[in-house]
Amino acid sequence: MSEGHASDAAMRERPHVLALIPLPEVTRRALSTLYDLHMAERGPGEVDDAGDAVPLDRIVAVVTNGTTGLGAELMRRMPALRVVSAFGVGHENVDLACATQRGVVVTNAPGTNDETVADHALGFLLALGRGYGALTQAVRAGDWERLRTARPTLSGSVVGIIGMGRIGQGIARRCAAFGMRVLYCTRTPRAELAYDYEADLLAMAGRCDYLVAACPGGAATRHIIDADVLRALGPQGFVVNVARGSVVNTGDLVHAMQHGLIAGAGLDVLEDEPLVPEALKSLDNVLITPHMAGRSPAAQQAQTDALLASFADVLAGRRPEHVVS
């Protein structure tokens, strides 16, 4: 190829984008229309195994999330990298210090799936309190009468929410609409909110019928729901996690449920997902969904729009809307 033709081909080459996470079809289609999209759907390890299949030296943008993140070692192998976008709110495993040092912009998409996650959390509360899972299994097994005992209702009960960001507030609004008393625990009180603030998580757990985690992940919240908190929640209490798997100490949770120290749990996230401990699978008082609380067609479209906007802004030299680095 002549030098002129080579430069023409380079000018026509579309920017290379690397996705470290599985993406909805609507997102893949939109990215593929504008960029040369490379998928590493099992995370950074797959990039290492792919060899020349992923041209790391030409990657200008990366799609990831808080769980998968993007570490400094892989980031440094992308000399052309300009933007990393978290597909959602979480970005705790993206190395922000390395990104800042290299001038890489890191963005996220707050507000895109809040209502969907809040809906999912409320669904857990209803399903756990009323025993939908165990009752359905019993009916399918032909056992109609044995489990027709009275079950708790949401109205008049107390929910304690860990975290009062957009998702926490969405959960609180839904719970209040069901006639629940809402408590919340955060580092600082939110004076503008009409809910009861509790600075001490252990104390809040002792006052709750339902304890819901809707806080960020990371070192600051790792295992904050532990044996002591679960014991305070008590044998009539339920725990729900729509935050990060690291927030709950899995061993403590399994022990609490096996010994009747709490009534049950609803988990959309796990510490070692997608691996599910056998001890959790064997319990009929736990509901598990595969980290999809934030997934709805509307949420995925909103996340896609935010992702495309962040890439377009950074690659055009503009500051994107939601910068976290």
| 114-288 matches 3-112+297-315 in CATH topology | yes
pLDDT of residue 44: 67
Q: What is the pLDDT of residues 52-108, one digit of tens each?
A: 578 999 999 999 998 899 999 999 999 999 999 999 888 999 999 999 999 999 999
* Residue with more model confidence, 310 or 282: 310
Q: What is the pLDDT of residues 126-170, one digit of tens each?
A: 999 999 999 999 999 999 988 889 999 999 999 999 999 999 999
The residues near 4 (Cβ < 8 Å, ≥ 6 apart) are: none
The candidate with the shortest Cα–Cα distance to 113, out of 266, 288, 292, 290, is 292
The candidate with the shortest Cα–Cα distance to 306, out of 113, 104, 168, is 113
Q: Residues 16, 82, 244, 322: which is the catalytic one?
A: 244
Cα(95)–Cα(77) distance, rounded to whole angstroms? 14
Catalytic residue check, 76: no
Q: Residues 273, 295, 321, 322: which is the catalytic one?
A: 273
Q: What is the pLDDT of residues 284-319, one digit of tens each?
A: 899 999 999 999 999 999 999 999 999 999 999 999
The residues near 289 (Cβ < 8 Å, ≥ 6 apart) are: 120, 267, 268
Q: What is the CATH code for 3-112+297-315? A: 3.40.50.720
Question: Are 99 and 84 within 8 A, CB to CB?
Answer: yes
Please give the CATH architecture assigned to the domain spanning 114-288: 3-Layer(aba) Sandwich (3.40)
Catalytic residue check, 278: no
Tell me the average pLDDT of the chain. 92
pLDDT of residue 192: 95
SS3 readout for the chain: CCHHHHHHHHHHCCCEEEECCCCCHHHHHHHHHHCEEEECCCCHHHHHHHHHHCCHHHEEEEEECCCCCECHHHHHCCCCCCEEEECCCCCCCECHHHHHHHCCEEECCCCCCHHHHHHHHHHHHHHHHHCHHHHHHHHHCCCCCCCCCCCCCCCCCEEEEECCCHHHHHHHHHHHHCCCEEEEECCCCCCCCCCEECCCHHHHHHHCCEEEECCCCCHHHCCCECHHHHHHHCCCCEEEECCCHHHECHHHHHHHHHCCCCCEEEECCCCCCCCCCHHHHCCCCEEECCCCCCCCHHHHHHHHHHHHHHHHHHHCCCCCCCECC
Cα(70)–Cα(92) distance, rounded to whole angstroms? 9
Q: What is the pLDDT of residues 203-231, one digit of tens each?
A: 999 999 999 999 998 899 999 999 999 99
pLDDT of residue 172: 98
275 pLDDT exceeds 80? yes
Q: Residues 291, 295, 318, 321: which is the catalytic one?
A: 291
Catalytic residue check, 273: yes
pLDDT of residue 4: 45
Q: What is the pLDDT of residues 14-56, one digit of tens each?
A: 999 999 999 999 999 999 999 999 998 666 666 655 455 789 9
Q: What are the sequence ranges of the domains in the chain?
A: 3-112+297-315, 114-288
